[in-house]
Structure 1
């Protein structure tokens, strides 16, 4: 069984970075790398905070919900006249049996507050999740840099 929620698509990938998540130190590395890329792209501090929080949550899920961790992929992207950062979390874990339930605020399989995936979806501008029971999960999110207003 495959479950999917989709992105709007049409983006061009510019600079891929892959970080294996096997220990807590890897989570910190992924978070710092993503924020450094976002800062270099001109993201605001609030946008960088959304990226940092999202990467942290996705990477924690890789470590907590799988036996061998997974991978965080960080890409800079362009779509028409927009620039953004794309964060993908991939694993070969058990998959998510009910995505709709997993996306509900307050739902947790690990005893947490249950705001992780739904929080990531709220923080980022685009969100896609594909999960196949017994064959892993791939979550892709995008945060678009807001354009500065001219006065």
Structure 2
């Protein structure tokens, strides 16, 4: 079992792939089923893609958690980019600034069990998302 967190710096598109694969590996090793492995990998892709598009460089950290007997994964996306000007708008379905599908942050929130976001203009963003084994 991997105890050390995985840390993937996001500089380019290949780093998104590496972060996604690392998350899938952790999820599989922890015992998540295929559907939850895909959810976790998709959430990581969205978070890493946001770093790549808006705030590179940044870091995706994946770690095993045990919260009072509830095992799972915590995914943290952190950058020192421009921050998110309007968090409420960014959390609306369909909102996009990149011409993408707009599934981004609201999609990550739906895919995971817990979702926390802190963003400050000019200082960066930190998002933590958690998924627990059922």
Same fold (TM over 0.5): yes
Pick the aligned partner of 2:50 from 38, 61, 67: 61
Over the residues paired in the alignment, what is the CA RMSD in angstroms? 0.9
Output the TM-score relative to the length of structure 2: 0.95
Matches within 5 A, 1:2-151: 14-66=3-55, 68-146=56-134
Output the TM-score relative to the length of structure 1: 0.85
User: Which structure shows the higher helix fraction?
Assistant: 2
CA shift, 1:113, in A, is 1.7
CA shift, 1:15, in A, is 2.9
Q: Distance in 2 between matches of 1:115 and 1:32?
A: 20
Q: Distance in 1 between matches of 2:35 and 2:57?
A: 28
Structure number with larger C-alpha Rg: 1
List structure 1 runs of 4+ shifted beyond 4 angstroms.
Answer: none
More RCO (CA 8 Å, sep 6+): 1
Structure 1 residues without counterparts, runs of 5 or longer: 1-13, 147-151
